[in-house]
Copies of this chain bind each other. A is one copy, B any other.
Amino acid sequence: MGSDVVDMKLSEMNKETLEQFLADCKAQYLDFQAENLKLDMSRGKPSPKQLDLSLDMIDCLKRDDYKAANGLDCRNYGVLDGLPEAKEFFSNMLGVDPSNVMVFGNSSLNIMYWAMSVAMTNGVLGGEPWSKLPKVKFLCPVPGYDRHFAVSEYFGMEMVNIPMNEDGPDMDMIEKLVAEDDSIKGVWCVPMYSNPGGVVYSDEVIKRFAALKPKAKDFRIFWDNAYCVHHLVDNPPVQANLMEEAKKVGNEDICYMFASTSKITFPGNGIAVMAASDKNLACLKKSLGFATIGYDKINQLRHLRFFDDNFENLIKHMKKHKDLIAPKFAIVENTLESELKELGIANWSNPQGGYFISFNQAGCAKRIVSLCKEAGVVLTGAGASFPYGKDPLDENIRLSPTFPTEEELQKAMNVFVCSAKIAAAEKLMG
């Protein structure tokens, strides 16, 4: 590693030292290139070892076990919005009453897409279909999840960047915007361990979301609680519940809550869930009835059997995930710390949960991603965590430590910090 060269801020080096620093880093980079690496840190995918934790999923359902608790044959048609016991089970995950839960098939992204497409074609709670409006705007806390932004862009919405603070999105800005502009129809949120920043929204922020009074009556908070049980620490933060807070102020129609088992059991055949108010649910169910006769109930049953119908078992299961991935987060954080901290060129998150580390180095994100790629390390594209792929400061890179092995990850991080140093030195030298 090149860290012996200096332990001072890069910006404080004189020209000669900086040139030497860059030359050393480039030499090291050439060595990496010579290794013909093929490493992928681009997406938040569980590793094969994590998937092995759920191997029983494949054969835990016995051939005579196809009936729901109410006697319903899960093999046949029917049950639009999920088995009663599945609603009960997942109500624990969403922190709402089982009667406010819908249970679907694979992929919560698919359900978020669906909920938004319904708003586009048929409106929200009897309101004008969004597709009929001259303009629809959507608020996007940044950095955020690229696939959220992609859905809004696909539907032709104008996305408005909202800065993220340490306790969540800038609520002053959100409150002001939604009160003024009725073309603003919603906001994307990942309230716990945000993607990619790892931000845990504070109770104060959640209460302000719950109490929002948008000018648009069909404004919806798309509350993607993708990482609500995905902790990396032993004593995870406890967070206020949006629906509960919204109910307290008579505003429960404002939120659509989503979650899934994708990063709990198998991403390839998980279960997506949604929670909404009675009024929203009645309307959404009616819409859903045109789109399907029902989702995969056998897979709902399979999940219930795997967890022995006990939500506590899911929590225990998540601790096994933590044991596998926390060391990987440590590798990333330790490497950044030991290699970059003294140089003063970048900052990064140390999340308590979720799947990502957010890395910032102003003006250097594209260059770093490109350098890594040319050395065989694939990262999420620079800019991906911003609407339209445009990071105004070209600073943010999302690091996904879970999929590679620890050895691969260390290697990839060595390439990464080397690339970050080169990019920083190049930038300083103009």
**Interface residues of A, Cβ cutoff 8 Å to B:** 43, 45-46, 48, 51, 54-56, 58-59, 61-63, 65-66, 73-78, 105-107, 109-110, 113-114, 117, 120-122, 129, 131-132, 147, 150-151, 154-155, 262, 266-269, 287, 290-299
CA of A75 to CA of B73, assembled, Å: 26
Q: Which of A65, A114, A266 has the most CB of B within 10 A?
A: A266
CA of A48 to CA of B113, assembled, Å: 34
B109 near A292 (CB under 8 angstroms)?
A: yes
A298 near B266 (CB under 8 angstroms)?
A: yes
CA of A253 to CA of B110, assembled, Å: 26
CB<8 Å pairs between A and B, sample of 8? A56-B63, A75-B267, A75-B269, A106-B294, A117-B121, A120-B121, A121-B131, A268-B298
**Chain B residues within an 8 Å CB radius of A295:** 106-107
B105 near A106 (CB under 8 angstroms)?
A: yes
**Chain B residues within an 8 Å CB radius of A61:** 58-59
Q: Which residue of B lies closest to A272 (CB)?
A: B292
**Chain B residues within an 8 Å CB radius of A106:** 105, 292, 294-296
**Chain B residues within an 8 Å CB radius of A58:** 61-63, 65-66, 298
B62 near A107 (CB under 8 angstroms)?
A: no
B113 near A292 (CB under 8 angstroms)?
A: yes
CA of A266 to CA of B74, assembled, Å: 9
Least CB distance from A379 to B in Å reads: 17
Least CB distance from A304 to B in Å reads: 14
A290 near B113 (CB under 8 angstroms)?
A: yes
B291 near A110 (CB under 8 angstroms)?
A: yes
B75 near A51 (CB under 8 angstroms)?
A: yes
B292 near A269 (CB under 8 angstroms)?
A: no
Least CB distance from A16 to B in Å reads: 48
A296 contacts which of B77, B292, B296 (Cβ < 8 Å)?
B296
A76 near B110 (CB under 8 angstroms)?
A: no
**Chain B residues within an 8 Å CB radius of A262:** 77
**Chain B residues within an 8 Å CB radius of A269:** 74-75, 296-299
Least CB distance from A9 to B in Å reads: 40
A75 contacts which of B120, B151, B266, B287 (Cβ < 8 Å)?
B266
CA of A78 to CA of B65, assembled, Å: 29
**Chain B residues within an 8 Å CB radius of A267:** 75-77, 293
Least CB distance from A89 to B in Å reads: 18
A268 near B56 (CB under 8 angstroms)?
A: no
Q: Which residue of B lies closest to A59 (CB)?
A: B63
Least CB distance from A269 to B in Å reads: 4
Least CB distance from A329 to B in Å reads: 19
Q: Which of A54, A110, A147 has the most CB of B within 10 A?
A: A110
